[in-house]
C-alpha cells in the first residue's frame, strides 16, 4: 500500500524547480500550486503514462529532489548511528536511499488519471520552525490523506517527511533500516540498499 501511495508525494512536488517565488512563499501555497501543475503535467506526458522508467526517474531527480532536504530525511531514517558514520558513508547512504525512493515513487506515477488535490489545513509543529501541510488526493475510490512536514532553515521551504494514510515515510524506513543496522552497522545498511537497488533495476 505504501509503495503505491508514496509516488503521489513526488508528483505533488515535481514542478517546484521552475518557481523560485513559490520557494519563498507560504508552504501551503507551495504545495497547492505544485499539485495542480504536476498533476496536469503527469496526465499530459505520454512517456510517464506509458511507464517509461528513465523518463520518470529523470523528472523526479531534476524536479523533486532539489526541493527535499534529503540529508535530513536520510539522517532521520538512519537514526542515532548516523552520528558515527563517516562523510563517505553518509554520502553513500544518501545516494542509495535516493535511488530507492525515486524507484518507489516512479512505480505508481502511471496510476494517476483524474485525480485532484485539496489542501485542507496547515499546522505549526510545536517547539520548532516546522509546519505540517495536510492535503487530500481525490479521484480514486476514496481520498488519500497526505501530510507534508516542511522546514525553512534558510530562504526556502524544504520537504523533510511525508505522511501517507497515517504512516510517516521516515518512521517507516527507520524501522526497516534498524534491522540492517543491528546486523551489520552502517556498512551493512549501505550494502543492503545497494543490493535492493540492483534487484529493482534488473526487474526494470
10-residue mean pLDDT profile of the chain (204 residues): values are 46 38 67 71 79 75 77 96 97 93 68 78 94 87 86 87 88 94 97 94 78
Q: What is the CATH number of the domain that holds 62?
A: 3.10.450.710
pLDDT of 46 reads: 86
Q: What dihedral angle (degrees, nearest 10) is formed by the CA atoms of 169, 172, 176, 182? A: 100
pLDDT of 6 reads: 46
pLDDT of 24 reads: 47
Contact 32, 119 (CB under 8 A): yes
Structural domain count of the chain = 1
Q: Which domain holds residue 114?
A: 2-203
pLDDT of 19 reads: 38
The whole-angstrom separation of Cα 27 and Cα 168 is: 18
pLDDT of 17 reads: 33
Set of cell numbers at residue 79: 537514526
Amino acid at each position: 500500500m505504501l509503495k503505491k501511495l508514496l509516488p503521489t508525494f513526488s508528483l505533488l512536488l515535481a514542478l517546484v524547480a521552475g518557481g523560485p517565488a513559490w520557494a519563498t512563499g507560504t508552504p501551503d501555497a507551495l504545495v497547492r500550486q505544485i499539485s495542480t501543475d504536476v498533476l496536469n503535467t503527469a496526465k499530459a506526458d505520454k512517456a510517464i503514462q506509458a511507464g517509461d522508467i528513465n523518463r520518470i526517474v529523470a523528472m523526479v531527480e531534476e524536479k523533486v529532489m532539489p526541493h527535499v532536504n534529503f540529508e535530513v530525511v536520510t539522517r532521520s531514517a538512519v537514526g542515532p548511528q548516523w552520528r558515527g558514520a563517516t562523510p563517505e558513508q553518509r554520502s553513500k547512504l544518501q545516494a542509495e536511499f535516493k535511488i530507492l525512493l525515486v524507484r518507489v515513487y516512479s512505480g505508481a506515477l502511471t496510476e494517476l488519471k483524474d485525480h485532484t488535490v485539496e489542501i485542507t489545513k496547515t499546522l505549526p509543529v510545536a517547539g520548532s520552525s516546522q509546519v505540517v501541510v495536510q492535503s487530500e488526493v481525490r479521484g480514486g475510490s476514496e481520498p488519500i490523506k497526505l501530510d507534508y512536514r516542511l522546514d525553512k532553515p534558510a530562504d526556502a521551504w524544504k520537504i523533510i517527511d511525508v505522511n501517507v494514510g497515517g504512516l510517516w515515510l521516515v518512521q517507516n524506513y527507520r524501522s526497516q533500516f534498524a534491522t540492517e543496522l543491528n546486523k551489520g552497522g552502517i556498512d551493512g545498511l549501505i550494502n543492503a540498499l545497494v543490493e535492493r537497488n540492483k534487484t529493482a533495476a534488473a526487474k526494470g
